[in-house]
Amino acid sequence: MRLVVIGCGFAGVEVVGAVRGLLPVDSLEIVMIDPRSRMEFQAAHPEILSGKVLPEDISGDIRVFSEKNDARFVNKAVETVDFDENVVKAGDEAIPYDFLVIASGGVPTFFGVPGAETSYTVNTLSEAVRAKNALDRLDVNKNVKIAVIGAGLTGVEVVGELNDYFNERKAKNAKIYLIEAMDKVLPTFNDNVSNYVRKLFEGEGVEIVTSKGVERIDDGHIVLTDGSELDTDMVIWTCGIQCSSLSKTLGLENVRGWIVVDENLRAKGRNNVFVIGDAAHVEIDGILSGKNVEEAEHQGRTAAQNIVNLIRKKPLKRYRPVNTTSDPRAIITLGGKRAVIVFKGMMIRFMAYRLKKFIEHRYLKRFRSRKA
Ligand SMILES: Cc1cc2nc3c(=O)[nH]c(=O)nc-3n(C[C@H](O)[C@H](O)[C@H](O)COP(=O)(O)OP(=O)(O)OC[C@H]3O[C@@H](n4cnc5c(N)ncnc54)[C@H](O)[C@@H]3O)c2cc1C
């Protein structure tokens, strides 16, 4: 029997590791597919901007992981899936499966705002490096202006790293703008967190604009929804994600492209197809999973258990979201090696940055060869 996993991000990697922990190796062949050769630890991408980390520090070799887990790695993009024939097509390969896991994540969305797609992003490592190179080309001795669009978790982390970048270069005239369409910083979090971060950044000279969306961007010139305008040297867009191009073509039931799953994390009407991580729309008893690492991994482990249960003809496990849109939890870095942990609406600062770094280092060990 063969399990095929599309996408080797947090969710895809987790399902493979968990299946291997539950079943003898010879009872299930595993094929992992991804056009990237390195798994990207996205939570650390903003730190590329300040130079605290390099791409190789925050990414892991998928081939090494696959070898450690007795899986075959196919370094290609999946183009189509034939759900009736149970075959995945990736480049010139047609790979049959008994069980399929779709974990193809998301990509940035620009919400159709004219000119927004010319902004820099930090969603992928190569995009984060491109943004860092553009930053390095700016003359920090002049009155540099950078706009960060979106004051969600990523936007806030990017501002923290830009602050560090300019502080290190003693660029006193550099100005950072944080622009958010909703009425507060970190709109999905409680006011205690939002107000703390706003006060901290404003005290550091960041200009925060809330309740104003971006109407268009033209070569650094930003027009906001209230008609006000701003000229900048660089724009970094952090406003959210949409489903990957693959998800749109699969013809599975979806909500704005996110594939709808049942309580066992299976695509509706497809008994041997699981969808996990950002690619999935997971809503159970009215509770919606957040799109975050904790959910991606938790879903990976549940999908693994359910694949094993299908093989053993046991009842399937019901999924229970833990890091939800209504009760989000996160560790949010704020620059200067500071962070806050948000848990059950509370905000904890003690050891938060060190904890985030500890989690990152421990996670990436999975991608190091046993000899290293
Ligand atoms: C900048 C940034 C910062 C973040 N910070 C945090 C944070 O601090 N905490 C937190 O919990 N979450 C954070 N997130 C969200 C978190 O990274 C995602 O929720 C998580 O990565 C989802 O895991 P995933 O496996 O579903 O998708 P991903 O990790 O995105 O992996 C998807 C994989 O699928 C592959 N793929 C795509 N299309 C195909 C195809 N056609 N064929 C084969 N493979 C394909 C991709 O190459 C990729 O490797 C952040 C996200 C970003 C962008």
Strands 93-96 and 71-74: unpaired
Dump pLDDT digits (tens) for 107-164.
Answer: 999 999 999 999 999 999 999 999 999 999 999 989 999 999 999 999 999 999 999 9
Dump pLDDT digits (tens) for 194-232.
Answer: 999 999 999 999 999 999 999 999 999 999 999 999 999
* Binding site membership of 154 for ligand 1 (Cβ less than 6 Å): yes
**Which two structure tokens, joined as six digits, stand for 163?**
């602050």
pLDDT of residue 248: 87
d(C-alpha 160, C-alpha 173), whole Å: 17
* Binding site membership of 304 for ligand 1 (Cβ less than 6 Å): no
Mutate which of 93, 292, 366 to test ligand 1's pocket (most atoms within 8 Å of Cβ)? 292
- Radius of gyration (C-alpha) of the chain in whole angstroms: 21
* Binding site membership of 121 for ligand 1 (Cβ less than 6 Å): no
Beta-bridge partner residues of 38: 61
Instruction: Identify the residue whose C-alpha is closest to ligand 1 atom 19.
Output: 292
pLDDT of residue 316: 98
pLDDT band at 370 (very low <50, low <70, confident <90, very high): confident
* Binding site membership of 290 for ligand 1 (Cβ less than 6 Å): no
Sequence letter at residue 102: I
Fold: same for 2-35+76-107+241-325 and 112-239: yes
- How many C-beta atoms lie closer than 10 Å to residue 188's C-beta? 16
* Binding site membership of 11 for ligand 1 (Cβ less than 6 Å): yes
pLDDT band at 182 (very low <50, low <70, confident <90, very high): very high
Query: Is the pLDDT assigned to residue 371 strictly greater than 70?
Result: no
CA distances from 217 to 115, 221, 222, 236, 241 (A): 5, 6, 5, 11, 19
pLDDT of residue 372: 60
Segments making up each domain of the chain, as ranges:
2-35+76-107+241-325, 112-239
CATH number of 112-239: 3.50.50.60
Query: Is the pLDDT assigned to residue 44 strictly greater than 90?
Result: yes
Q: Decide yes or no: CATH 3.50.50.60 for domain 2-35+76-107+241-325.
A: yes
Q: DSSP of 269-329, one letter per residue?
A: T-TTEEE-GGGEE-EETTEEBPSSHHHHHHHHHHHHHHHHHHHTT-PPPPP--SSBSSS--
Cα of 54 vs centre of ligand 1, distance in Å, is 18
Mutate which of 89, 278, 297, 340 to test ligand 1's pocket (most atoms within 8 Å of Cβ)? 278
d(C-alpha 86, C-alpha 90), whole Å: 13
**Which two structure tokens, joined as six digits, stand for 298?**
């938790």
d(C-alpha 57, C-alpha 49), whole Å: 14
Query: Is the pLDDT assigned to residue 48 strictly greater than 70?
Result: yes
Edge-to-edge strands, sheet with 229-231: 214-218, 221-224, 229-231
Question: What totals of helices (H) and strands (E) does the chain contain, helices first?
Answer: 9, 27
d(C-alpha 278, C-alpha 293), whole Å: 9
Dump pLDDT digits (tens) for 301-346.
Answer: 999 999 999 999 999 999 999 999 999 999 999 999 999 999 999 9
Alpha helices in the chain (DSSP H): 10-22, 46-50, 62-68, 125-137, 153-168, 191-203, 245-249, 293-311, 352-364
Alpha helices in 103-258 (DSSP H): 125-137, 153-168, 191-203, 245-249
pLDDT of residue 41: 98
d(C-alpha 27, C-alpha 5), whole Å: 16
pLDDT band at 81 (very low <50, low <70, confident <90, very high): very high
Query: Mean pLDDT across the chain, nearest whole number?
Result: 97
- DSSP-derived secondary structure letter, 68: H
Dump pLDDT digits (tens) for 234-251.
Answer: 999 999 899 999 998 999
Mutate which of 10, 37, 95 to test ligand 1's pocket (most atoms within 8 Å of Cβ)? 10
pLDDT of residue 167: 97
